[in-house]
Structure formats: C-alpha cells, structure tokens
Chain A
Amino acid sequence: MNSIREKISLAVAATAVAMMALTGCGSGTASTGGGAMLPDEQQNLTFVPAFAVPGLDPTKAPLEMGSNQVLSNVLQALVKLDENSQPQPQLAESWEWTTPTTLTLKLREGVTFSDGQALSSADVKATLERYISQKQTLAAVLAVIESVSADDPTTVTITTTQPTGTLLGVLSMLFIGQAAHAQDDAWWAKPTGTGPFVINDFIANDKVSLTRNEGYWGEKAKLRSLTFKLITDVNAKVTALSNGQAQVLNDVPFDQVATVEAMSNVAFTQTEGLTYNFLWFNNAREPFTDVRVRTAMWEAVDLPTIVESLYGDTASVMDSFCPTSAFGCVAATDMPSYDPEHAKKLLAEAGYAEGFTADVIFSTANAGYDSLISALVSAWNEIGVTITPRALDGATWLSEFSALNWDMDVQPNQTATGDADYTLNRLYKCEAKRMGYCNPELDQLMAQAQESNDAQARLKLYQQVVDTMVKDAPAIPLFQTKPNVAASNTVQGLTIPPTEFIDWSTVYLTE
C-alpha cells in the first residue's frame, strides 16, 4: 500500500516539475499573477458569452454575434482586424490592389484544415461564392464583388464593380471553409476550419464545446477544451463565476459590476467596442417627417445623465452615428445637446405646441432596455410628448421592425467591419429603406467615401456625412457599450478585441 502511494506521489511530483519546466520554457511572456500553469488534462475552460449561438453556419447568418464568437476560433478569414480595426494578415499573407477594382491576395503557405487537408485558393473562391449565393444579411455589402478567381493554388483575385476601399473589412468577416463542401449545408452546420479549435458538440442556444486542433498550422492552443455555455439569468451567471462552474463571463451588466469586482479571485476588464445603441425615427411617418420634431425629441433627452446612471462606465455617450473605435466614425460638429426649452420651442414651430402621441418599439431580448425606455419616455413626457412603449418579444419585434410598423425603434447595432461605411452606407442611404430616410446628397458623399482608397480623403468625406446627418437627425445615436469580461484569476492571456471575438488560442489556466 505504502509503496504504491509513494510511487504515485513521486510520479505526480515528477509530472508537476516537468510541466513547470515546460511552461517555463514554452512561454516567454510572464503571466500576471496566478500560479503555475495547470497540467494539460485540466486545461478546460467554460465561457459564458453575452449572445446565444443559434447555428454554426456563418454563410447563413454572417452577422450573428454569438456564432461569430465561436466560429472565429474554428474558422479563419483572409484577414483579421487588429485593435485599431485595421486589416492584418491571417489566411492571406499579403494583398495588393493591382487596379482600383482588382484585389490580389497571396495565401499563406502550409495552412491546413483540422482534417489535414491543405488550404488552397479554390477553397477561398468556393467559400466566397457560397456567401454571395446565400443572399443573407451581408448581401448588400457583398454586392460589389463581381468575380473571384483562383489563379494558382496560393493566389486569389477579387474583382469589384467599383472601387471599394472597404473590401478588406468585409473580407475579415468571411470565414473560409472547404471547396469540396461548398454546396453542402450539413457540412456547414458543423464546419471544419483552419482555426486553433475544432467543434466537438453543439446544442443550439445552449452550449458549444470545442477541443484543441492538434494539427493546427500555427502555434497550438493551450486550452485542451473550451465550452461556450449560455446562461441568460444575470444572477445565475455571476453565481457560475463565483462557484467555478465558469471561468470567464462576457457582458456583466453595470449594476452587477460592483458584485463581480468584490469577488476576491476575479479580474474585471473592459475595452472599447464596436457595439452601440441607436434610436430610429420612422422618417416617413407623421410627425417625424418634420426635422424639427426629430431634433426636438433628441434635445429632450439628457443622454449623459441617463447613460451615466444606467450604465456607469460600461457605456459612453456617442459623438457620431457609429462607435468611435470604428474607422471614419468621426465626431460630428454641433450634435444636439440636452435643451428641453429649445425642444419645446421647436415643437411649437412645427405645430405641435400641445405635443403628440406616438409609440416606440424594442425587443425584450435586450436586457435592461425597460429602464432605458422608461427614462426616454419620461424625458419626452417633460416636453409634452406622450410615448407608448411597446415591449415585444424577439420574433415579434423583428417582424414589426421589418414591416416599418413603428414610430420609433430602439436597438443595439454593431459596426462589424470596424468601418463607418458598413454602418452608415448600409443603413442610411435612400436605397436601404430602413426608416423612410432619404437624402440624395448624403448618398453621394457616402458613395464617394466607399470608393476611395485614401484614408485621409475618406475621413474628410465622413466628416461631411455625419455633419449632414446631425442636421437631418434621422436617428439618435444613444450610447456605445464597452465590452467587458470578468475572469477568474486563474485565466491568463485573455484579451478582448473591439469585435468581441475573443481569440482563445492564447488563453491558459494556472493554479
């Protein structure tokens, strides 16, 4: 008995020493606090994301936040955005605009899918064509792509219908799969990628478990397994972190931040993000057809106070129509500020001295929105406008919203490409018909900005764009949120990019 126990403890000690030696050699960077790296069989991490994962086919729902958070660890795009939203090499090693409408990309050599197959330009071509043929939420953005050709195994050429300076940002959202399965929906429902993790198990809107891609072409992931487990109840989420059921939480609401920060073994971090919240007026409906009414509604709300009270430092007031961390979202001059007296005057000029009644829709899927909407409604009430809030469940909200069956709408939005073009040109041009707003002059400015490849010229154009929009007030940019993460102190190497697509391959657990 005794001897066996001794042998076992010796073996354990030896392994521990070996592991420490290995980690000491392997990672050059010093970990911030925490003990030694846990042995490989204990490198299992559970992450509670902020968004549900309804499906894993990126070509069917390219803008699904939850899915992209998972897929960005399984599949890879040609380029990825860095923390300044600038494209950096990923599957493409380098790229060049050979003509204003021709982009040639050189693929990285030695990249293999997790099943061992090598990546070739045919895979890129087939995947991009699948994205285009699915006609999903990115259709408008992909419309500029005229053709994709695979010139040789490592060269891909993309031809566009017009000069498109924003193409690389779009490419950063397209995950590359295998050419042989381009038509195979079942394959795409659980795709095989070139990323550091492999999908092991998936239950829609509940959990996704990933395991390490042992044959990864780059530096292998340190985690053995990674589980995305959705917990919608805020209290249950915080409890999961405190009892070790989960090691990392995304999106801790402001009112819970104090609780999380009070936990002794938890680190709370937040960064600038690309997610923001806006209010849209139905510009085609009375009385919001009148710009004075729209401006009055804007001036009636004391956004700095509302945002400060409800969201504290987890959100900030906006000075543009898209989040500042995105390229081209320059600060607008003369943003309307809180001035209820002037708002009343404007209403009177527009012929609504006695106020009016209207509604505002929002989805109950957005946690904490009832407080925000109450605050807005209360502020409008002060200038004599009666607004009826309509809290709708997700599906009802979507159908009402798409049918333009609302006077006002409040919702979150993301500038996914990290470029103003993606948000402004997609949502506010006449053709978009999203809220009955149309200003041909603005359309022209935005088209010019899209075509240009010159960053300085684009910034100048976007300055004109946002200044025009402030005058027209088709919408109110409410606030931009800072993505946050609460992680147990045993988690090392975790950073949150603005897109909130965390790269889990560098993360590991210590004692």
Chain B
Amino acid sequence: MTTAPTTSAAPAMTKARRSRWGVHTRTLVPCAIIALIAVGAIFVPVLYGYDPLRVDLADRLKPPGSVLPNGSIAVFGTDQIGSDLFAQMMAGARVSLIIGAATLAIAGVIGVLIGMLAGYYGGWLDTVLMRVADIQLAFPAILLAVLLAAVLGQGVLNVIIVLSISNWVVFARIARSQVLALKDREYVEAARTLGLGNFHIIFRTLLPGSLPPILVVGTVELGHVVLAEAALSFLGVGVPMGTASLGSTIANGVQYLSTAWWISTLPGVLLLLLVLATGVLGDAVRDRLDPRLRSL
C-alpha cells in the first residue's frame, strides 16, 4: 500500500533525524566499549596483581568460572601455565592500546608533516615523497611489518617503530590531498596576501582545515594498528615473552583449541570488539565531521 506523502519534507526530516540518532549511538556505544576496555586495561592487571611470568601449574587450563584453590574465581578461566586469563587479556589490551596510541602519535605526526610539505610545496619534493609513499604502498602493510619486525627483533618499542613505518603513508596521503584542496581557497589566499610566512600558512591555516579527515583516518587506523600488533605477536615477532599481548595469548591457545577453547577465543573476541568499536567510531566521526567524505 502506498500512501501519498502529505508534505514532501516529512520523510527527509525523519531520515535526517534517524541518521542523527544513528550517529549518536554509533559514537556513544563504541566510545563506551573503548573506555571500558581502557579502564579495564589500566586497573585490572593492578587489582589482580598480574605478573606475566608467574606460573601456577596446579591451576592450568581451568575453564571460565572455575574457583581456584586460593578462593578466587577465574572469570575467563586460566591458560596453559595457570595464569588468570581475564587479567592476562586486560594486560594484553593495555599493551595493545599503548602501542596503538604511540604508533598513531608517531605515524600521525610524521605522516601529516610529510603530506603537508609535499602538498604545499609541490614540485620535486612532492614527487620524491609521494613516490616513496607509493613504493611502500605497493607492499602489503603486514608483510612489510613482519619483515621489519624480523630484522629489528622483539620488543614493545620495536613494534611501535615497525608499525609507525608501515602506517605513516596513510596520514601523508590524506594530509597532502587536503592541502591540495585547500591551498587555493580564498582564506588561504587572504593569509598569503597579508604577507604571512609559509610556516604560518601551513600550520595555522592549512592544518586546522585538514584535521577532520585526519582524525577520521586516525580513529580507523587505531583498530588497524591494534590488529597489526596482535598479528605480529601471534607470529612471534611482536612483543617478547613476558609481556602480555592479545596476539601471543591467542597463539598460545591455538594448540588447545579442542581442549581449552577459551584461551584463544576470549582474547579473540576482545580484539574483535576493540577493532570493531574503533571502526564504527571512525565511521561515526566521519559522518559527524565531514558528511561529504561518506564515500571514502
């Protein structure tokens, strides 16, 4: 049955309202999830007195909800060396978030700087920097990361370096395209006419205008970086033994999949939640900041 619209504006309004409500939920729910994981990552390992090198062989491979001999309840069970899985996952999430934030900061600053310089000055600088970026993009990011990690060795700092190297390109390209789009705008022209220097124009007029898409990319990239760190640790080239990581916990549990499913599954679910939340949040931030980017 079709009912003729009473006013042509009503459906559009409803749609707009619904999408605005959608943006709200899509911002709030992921934010809540990320905040919850962050709070857990900060406090749970401390509360549990988690020590990645402590082994309690009597308590190994206990299923979720088991009561341990010391009276505590292992909510998510214990792993193959008897360590509490919940505390271990939260300590892993802590490492993931630290690596994610540090990588974003480093890759973001370097990438945006290179991108803006390339976009603003153009010419040979642009050609050189962007060809380097193209060459790097020709390699699958994870392959490059594994290669670098194998050369540098294990360690949290090394993982940050590796992931920064494989992630700056995204920021550089987005910053460059923004600068190209903005640099002939009237307000930039005005700044130039007023006699402002290149430094001022780049950082005071172009940078603020380029920030929204960079923020969007940054939010989405957080998920990618967390996933990449887990992948490296899963493959044994990420964080060393003795540092908790979602990736290495999943790897440790693989050979117990048929007997102790929780060791691999639960950290996997946590990783999924974290990555999904950042993805959805990035999407919502984009809709909010710059609806024109929807097709991105």
Interface residues of A (CB under 8 A from B): 233-235, 238, 253, 255-256, 258-259, 305-306, 309-310, 364, 367-368, 370-371, 373-375, 377-379, 381, 388-391, 393
- Specify which of A253, A305, A364 is in contact with B236 (CB 8 Å cutoff): A364
What chain A residues lie within 8 Å of B254 (beta carbons)? Answer: 233-235
B55–A374 touching, CB < 8 Å: yes
B27 within 8 A of A: no
A374–B257 touching, CB < 8 Å: no
Interface string of B58-93 (1 = CB under 8 A from A): 101100000000000000000011000000000000
Least CB distance from A407 to B in Å reads 16
For the complex, what is the distance from the CA of A370 to the CA of B79, rounded to whole Å?
Answer: 12
- Specify which of B54, B60, B252, B257 is in contact with A309 (CB 8 Å cutoff): B60
What chain B residues lie within 8 Å of A378 (beta carbons)? Answer: 53-55
Least CB distance from A437 to B in Å reads 27
Q: A371-B80, A371-B81, A378-B55 are in contact. Are A255 and B259 (CB under 8 A)?
A: yes
For the complex, what is the distance from the CA of A375 to the CA of B58, rounded to whole Å?
Answer: 11
Least CB distance from B290 to A in Å reads 45
What chain B residues lie within 8 Å of A364 (beta carbons)? Answer: 236
Least CB distance from A388 to B in Å reads 7
B242–A375 touching, CB < 8 Å: no
What chain B residues lie within 8 Å of A379 (beta carbons)? Answer: 55
A374–B258 touching, CB < 8 Å: no
What chain B residues lie within 8 Å of A377 (beta carbons)? Answer: 53, 55, 242
Q: A375-B81, A388-B242, A391-B236 are in contact. Are A309 and B258 (CB under 8 A)?
A: no
B80–A255 touching, CB < 8 Å: yes
B240 within 8 A of A: yes
Least CB distance from A24 to B in Å reads 40
B257–A235 touching, CB < 8 Å: yes
B55–A253 touching, CB < 8 Å: no
- Specify which of A253, A373, A388 is in contact with B255 (CB 8 Å cutoff): A253
A389–B61 touching, CB < 8 Å: no
For the complex, what is the distance from the CA of A401 to the CA of B252, rounded to whole Å?
Answer: 25
What chain B residues lie within 8 Å of A381 (beta carbons)? Answer: 53-54
Least CB distance from B28 to A in Å reads 40
B256–A255 touching, CB < 8 Å: yes
Q: Which residues in chain B, 201-223, are within 8 Å of chain A measured between CB atoms?
A: none
B54–A234 touching, CB < 8 Å: no
Least CB distance from B264 to A in Å reads 10
B259–A256 touching, CB < 8 Å: yes
Q: Which B residue's beta carbon lies closest to that of A391?
A: B241
B255–A367 touching, CB < 8 Å: yes
What chain A residues lie within 8 Å of B81 (beta carbons)? Answer: 371, 374-375
For the complex, what is the distance from the CA of A238 to the CA of B257, rounded to whole Å?
Answer: 11
Least CB distance from A396 to B in Å reads 9
What chain A residues lie within 8 Å of B190 (beta carbons)? Answer: none
What chain B residues lie within 8 Å of A373 (beta carbons)? Answer: 241
Q: Which B residue's beta carbon lies closest to that of A369?
A: B241
A374–B241 touching, CB < 8 Å: yes
What chain B residues lie within 8 Å of A391 (beta carbons)? Answer: 154, 236, 240-241
For the complex, what is the distance from the CA of A258 to the CA of B260, rounded to whole Å?
Answer: 12
Q: Which B residue's beta carbon lies closest to that of A237?
A: B255
Least CB distance from A312 to B in Å reads 11
What chain A residues lie within 8 Å of B255 (beta carbons)? Answer: 233-235, 253, 255-256, 367-368
Least CB distance from A351 to B in Å reads 25
Cβ contacts A to B, 19 pairs, < 8 Å: A233-B254, A235-B254, A235-B258, A255-B255, A255-B256, A255-B260, A256-B255, A256-B258, A258-B259, A259-B258, A309-B58, A310-B57, A364-B236, A375-B57, A378-B55, A381-B54, A389-B240, A390-B240, A393-B236
What chain A residues lie within 8 Å of B61 (beta carbons)? Answer: 255
For the complex, what is the distance from the CA of A416 to the CA of B254, rounded to whole Å?
Answer: 32
A370–B241 touching, CB < 8 Å: yes
Q: Which A residue's beta carbon lies closest to that of B61?
A: A255
Q: Which B residue's beta carbon lies closest to that of A308?
A: B57
B259–A259 touching, CB < 8 Å: yes
Q: Which B residue's beta carbon lies closest to that of A388?
A: B242
A238–B54 touching, CB < 8 Å: no
Q: Which B residue's beta carbon lies closest to that of A307?
A: B57
What chain B residues lie within 8 Å of A235 (beta carbons)? Answer: 254-255, 257-258
What chain B residues lie within 8 Å of A370 (beta carbons)? Answer: 241, 252
Q: Which B residue's beta carbon lies closest to that of A379?
A: B55
For the complex, what is the distance from the CA of A377 to the CA of B81, rounded to whole Å?
Answer: 12
Least CB distance from A504 to B in Å reads 27
For the complex, what is the distance from the CA of A305 to the CA of B58, rounded to whole Å?
Answer: 9
For the complex, what is the distance from the CA of A235 to the CA of B254, rounded to whole Å?
Answer: 8
Closest 9 CB pairs of A and B: A309-B57, A378-B55, A234-B255, A375-B55, A389-B241, A374-B81, A374-B55, A371-B81, A391-B241
Interface string of B150-176 (1 = CB under 8 A from A): 000010000000000000000000000
Q: Which A residue's beta carbon lies closest to that of B260?
A: A255
Q: Which A residue's beta carbon lies closest to that of B236?
A: A364
What chain B residues lie within 8 Å of A367 (beta carbons)? Answer: 255
Q: Which B residue's beta carbon lies closest to that of A367?
A: B255
Q: Which B residue's beta carbon lies closest to that of A364?
A: B236
For the complex, what is the distance from the CA of A15 to the CA of B159, rounded to whole Å?
Answer: 65
Q: Which residues in chain B, 225-255, are within 8 Å of chain A measured between CB atoms?
A: 236, 240-242, 252, 254-255
For the complex, what is the distance from the CA of A253 to the CA of B258, rounded to whole Å?
Answer: 13
Q: Which A residue's beta carbon lies closest to that of B252?
A: A370
What chain A residues lie within 8 Å of B252 (beta carbons)? Answer: 370
Q: Which B residue's beta carbon lies closest to that of A368?
A: B255
For the complex, what is the distance from the CA of A378 to the CA of B52, rounded to whole Å?
Answer: 9
What chain B residues lie within 8 Å of A309 (beta carbons)? Answer: 57-58, 60
Least CB distance from B83 to A in Å reads 8
A306–B240 touching, CB < 8 Å: no
Q: Which A residue's beta carbon lies closest to that of B55?
A: A378
Q: Which B residue's beta carbon lies closest to that of A376?
A: B55
Known: A234-B254, A235-B258, A255-B256. 12 other contacts (CB 8 A): A255-B80, A256-B258, A306-B57, A374-B55, A374-B241, A375-B81, A377-B55, A378-B54, A381-B54, A389-B240, A390-B240, A391-B154
B57–A305 touching, CB < 8 Å: yes
What chain A residues lie within 8 Å of B240 (beta carbons)? Answer: 389-391
Q: Which A residue's beta carbon lies closest to that of B80?
A: A371
Question: Which among B53, B252, B256 has the highest number of chain A CB atoms within 10 Å?
Answer: B53
- Specify which of A255, A368, A389, A393 is in contact with B242 (CB 8 Å cutoff): A389
Q: Which B residue's beta carbon lies closest to that of A373?
A: B241
Interface string of B256-286 (1 = CB under 8 A from A): 1111100000000000000000000000000
Q: Which A residue's beta carbon lies closest to that of B57?
A: A309
Least CB distance from B152 to A in Å reads 13
Least CB distance from B259 to A in Å reads 6
What chain B residues lie within 8 Å of A253 (beta carbons)? Answer: 255
